[in-house]
Amino acid sequence: MIEGITVYDVLAVSTIIFFIGIFGFVTRKNLISLLISTELMLNAVALNFVIFNKFLYPGQIQGYVFSLFLIAVAAAEVALAIAIIISLYRMDNSVDADDMDTLKG
């Protein structure tokens, strides 16, 4: 346990960052901005895993390992998302979410 810092402080920080990510996700229309907001949310969730592991279950490694897996999945997700964005840009010459209606019937 770190002196002076409680689990509530860190959870408040991660909650605020998560809601800022949601705000970016619902206001922006650029696909890359949506990706950036998703990364903010994923970072907040990883902080939650770490903080529960550190403050509530010290000496165990579940939160630690899940944070590592989360980082790996986030890296995979970003690589795939950027490939899709570049491919869509080649097709439509735009990265605006409103223009993405290729799969619409």
Pair of tokens at residue 25 = 């996700």
Q: Residue type at 14?
A: S
Indicate whether 84 belongs to the interface with another protein (CB under 8 A). Answer: yes
Give yes or no for residue 8 binding another protein (CB under 8 A): yes
Judged by CB, which is closer to another protein: 28, or 100?
28
32 binds another protein (CB under 8 A): yes
Q: Is 43 in the site for another protein (CB under 8 A)?
A: yes
Look at the block and give the residue holding tokens 């939650």. Answer: 48
69 part of the interface to another protein, by CB under 8 A: yes
Residue (of 30, 63, 60, 25) closest to 47 by Cα position: 63
When asked if residue 98 is in the footprint of another protein (CB under 8 A), the reply is no
**Per rule CB under 8 A, is residue 99 in the interface with another protein?**
no
Could you give the 3-state DSSP secondary structure of residue 61? coil
The only residue of 45, 67, 99, 100 in contact with another protein, by rule CB under 8 A: 67
Closest C-alpha among 16, 15, 17, 37 to residue 26:
37
